[in-house]
Amino acid sequence: MLICCLAGWAACTKHTTMREGKAYTQLDSLTDTYLNLQDSLLITWNVMARDENEKLHAIQELLQSMGISGFFSKTDVEALEQRLGQVERIRFNQKTMSNPHVVEEYDFASNSLISEIVSMAESNPAFIQKKEFQSRIDYIKVADQRVEYYRADYDYIAQKFNLFLDKYQTQLKEIDQSGLNEKRPLFQMASDN
User: Residue-wise pLDDT tens for the chain (193 aa)?
Assistant: 434 433 343 444 444 444 554 556 777 788 888 889 999 999 999 999 999 999 999 999 999 999 999 999 999 999 999 999 999 999 999 889 999 999 999 999 999 999 999 999 999 999 989 999 999 999 999 999 999 999 999 999 999 999 999 998 887 777 776 756 788 999 975 555 4
pTM over 0.85: no
Q: Is 92 left (phi over 0), alpha (psi -120 to 50) or beta?
A: beta
Q: Which of 124, 112, 97, 103 is nearest to 59 (CA)?
A: 112
Neighbours of 53 (CB within 10 A): 12
Distance CA(36)–CA(54), nearest Å, equals 27
User: How large is the C-alpha radius of gyration of the chain?
Assistant: 25
